[in-house]
Amino acid sequence: MIIDFHTHVFPDQKSAMILSRLSKTADIPHFTDGTLAGLVNSMKNADIHLSVISRITTRADLVVSINQWLYGLRGKNILPLATLHPDLQKGGEYIEKLKKIGFKGIKVHPDYQGFYADDKRMYPFYDALQSSGMPILFHAGLDRGLPPPFKAMPDRLRNVHREFPQLKMIAAHMGGEDNYQETEECLLGTDIYLDTAFVLRIMDKDILKRFFKKHPVDRFLFGSDSPFSEQSEDLNYLMNLSCLDQEEKEKIAGKNAADLLGL
């Protein structure tokens, strides 16, 4: 099973506006129209069996409605991650509810949501997630559409890992675009998962090879960042890397994600 662990979809009536805004602020092209239908069509073209989708909110009062929308999109080839916000009340109880209704994990974007990854406000959420066994995907490193300081750099993710060693953490974008040295120093060799979203084809090949050598192969997840990268091209690039053998490619392309999500 091929699993894209990092994709985005937006409501049909808002997707064009959102993609236009991101194109202007972050200078990022898009390869689908940002809708669920666009993602499903891209998956068919790439022969991807399952996409993990996410959408975050900058307001605590919208968490429930966003998660209801995400829940409504689930299907045999679509698996949504719920979102949280540091100002959400009774977060531990809410996480239990999310797990009970079938959510498999959480996605947060600290830069847009206004908290540092190791902000103590998030500790009750991390504690509840650690107890539940649900993984949490962090946007990591820079965001092309926002100014520094960036709120989920590798050192802060390492701090969270030290406080919650059993928390299943995923650092998106291989720990963060263009901060690969810090990722090597802080994250490689730990139990933290790294996803390949957006950066796989633009990372220096020597750095990429070093990452695959120094970090457990069981802790890499294929992700495209669709609609902001082309799923078929990313998957083809992964499957043709000479620094990985076939078994390693298959783990990264899907098996690791299936194991993490309990599929």
Cβ pair 102, 133 in contact under 8 A? no
Nearest by Cα to 21 from 145, 167, 186, 202:
145
- According to DSSP, the β-strands at 220-221 and 78-80 are unpaired
The residue to which tokens 């050598």 are assigned:
213
Give pLDDT, residue 24.
84
Per residue in 91-122, pLDDT tens? 999 999 999 999 999 999 999 999 999 999 99
**Dist. CA 168–CA 136, nearest whole Å:** 6
Give pLDDT, residue 23.
84
**CA max distance for the chain:** 48
| Intervals of the chain under pLDDT 70 | none
Sign of CA dihedral 35, 84, 105, 93: negative
Query: Which tokens belong to 71?
Result: 């829940």
What are the start-end ranges of the H helices in 102-230? Answer: 110-113, 123-132, 154-163, 180-186, 205-214
Give pLDDT, residue 124.
96
The alpha-carbon radius of gyration of the chain (Å, integer) is 17
The residue to which tokens 């429930």 are assigned:
64
CB atoms within 10 A of CB 239: 15
177 pairs with which residues across the strands?
141
Q: Helices 63-71 and 91-101, interaxial angle, to 10°?
A: 10
Give pLDDT, residue 99.
97
**Dist. CA 103–CA 81, nearest whole Å:** 6
Give pLDDT, residue 59.
96
Give pLDDT, residue 22.
85
CATH architecture of 3-261: Alpha-Beta Barrel (3.20)
Using alpha carbons, list the distances in angstroms from residue 43 to 39, 68, 74, 111, 169: 6, 23, 15, 28, 25
